Structure 1
């Protein structure tokens, strides 16, 4: 597999679309995290500025694409676990990316899903898709959970008297400390009914005294992301645990996403992608319960 090649089952959707009216304005001078991920998933919705960021990330940490694919596979495994083993049949995904095969509403055919995003281009793409009544998209992000859960579109699809699965893969990696991400996680927890679950992943900064090379890659990647996106924070395991204060973290705990309920590579199904060893320590994840 070449450095920018993705498995077929991860590739971007390109069918069953309608035109957004009117289309949102796109700033071609600044990269977008959603378009960066589209590039790594072999999608079509990215521009030169996004590809420049992909090259810079690759130079800072060879194999950066591993993080994108590994985080998506973790999300797929964890969402399926919540659906099949915990009985969750309604989900809200914070920080939704551009639509792609293997999105939660596709791999969980009996579940309802609301995609939440602050990126208006992503919102337009989701709303333009022809879907049944199991999926919707709303504007919102992890720093405004109360506004999001008051949205009439969300409340029309999600029954807040029953357990909800919250999917937050990477979203808080782009919220600065000054914006109090822990407080927003606490507010989110207070909005959820009993029995609700959380799928959570975050960029991880390894201990420099133990893993100096990994810690240096995390530092270099953070510099690249801050320079290009003005966001992107690689936090220590203790700092990530602090964001989950008050949540009941479920087995196997907070750890490298590749080690979270790993699947065999064959047959290739959503969630079976396995990250190479080189960057596994740079991405941690967990499932938790209210």
Structure 2
């Protein structure tokens, strides 16, 4: 049973990028969030564009044909498999989420494409369980894989250690695989505290934390960043053109990048 009287992080994000799979509770929560951080809508769109560019880069430049999308969220065109298949028609994608609405929509979206794309129900923190599922083990035959953690790691509390999660996934993938990581970050402690408190409240304490840029940078420890020597505000990661939209106000940002597993 999906309770639409309470906001969902996935549906809030859907609203912020002008999707249609959201409800009054989600829109009301977004209105409050925008009061605290007015650039949030702009930030969400920038992050979605970063995901598309990163997948296109990995498929086109790095030859990646297998993608594991953690906390994939509601389907939004173009989806990861659609971007990858513009370059590799046989690209394989596994989406992972535990939101009932995400799962329902994802399975409808893929009902004619089950041979090479799947949606699995799992909490992406449970790496051991995920990597025993047939859909995932089928990706792991020695070819490089791209693991995506795009705008989801801030949903994990510190006590569940997102840094260890990223390392655990990386060690399970073949050498030469890639990680795509972005997370909400701010070096303003007041904003971090306010937004984190608000998100914990509306989600029933099922959220993590807005982190500092230094904390996000630690997610890349042991990985080889590509294109930049450090994580960046993601609108600056391989922008399509010099006129590509940039975040005008930066009370918080999506901070991240693409990195290779040695």
When the two structures are superposed, what TM-score results if normalisation uses the length of structure 2? 0.89
Q: 1:205 aligns with which of 181, 186, 189?
A: 186
Quick one: distance in 1 between partners of 2:260 and 2:251? 25
2:125 aligned partner: 143
SS in 1 for 2:18: coil
| Structure 1 residues without counterparts, runs of 5 or longer | 1-24, 209-214, 267-271
2:198 aligned partner: 224
Q: Does the aligned pair in 2 maintain the 1:36–1:50 contact within 8 Å?
A: yes
2:176 matched to 1:195?
yes
Quick one: distance in 1 between partners of 2:57 and 2:251? 21
Matches within 5 A, 1:52-201: 52-109=28-85, 110=88, 111-129=91-109, 130-132=111-113, 133-156=115-138, 158-201=139-182
What's the CA shift for 1:153?
A: 2.4
What's the CA shift for 1:279?
A: 2.9
2:247 matched to 1:276?
yes
SS in 2 for 1:150: coil
Q: Does the aligned pair in 1 maintain the 2:147–2:180 contact within 8 Å?
A: yes
What is the root-mean-square deviation of aligned Cα atoms in Å?
A: 1.9
What is the number of equivalent residue pairs in this alignment?
252
Quick one: distance in 2 between partners of 1:160 and 1:261? 30
Q: Does the aligned pair in 2 maintain the 1:256–1:280 contact within 8 Å?
A: no
What's the CA shift for 1:264?
A: 2.1
SS in 1 for 2:250: helix
- Give deviations 1:113-158, integer Å, cap 9, x for gaps: 11111212211211122332231101223311221121112334x2
What's the CA shift for 1:63?
A: 2.7
| Structure 2 residues without counterparts, runs of 5 or longer | none
Q: Does the aligned pair in 1 maintain the 2:151–2:254 contact within 8 Å?
A: no
Are the structure 2 counterparts of residues 248 and 280 from structure 1 closer, same or farther at C-alpha, using a change threshold of 3 Å?
Answer: farther
Quick one: distance in 2 between partners of 1:276 and 1:182? 26
Is 174-183 or 229-238 further displaced after alignment? 229-238
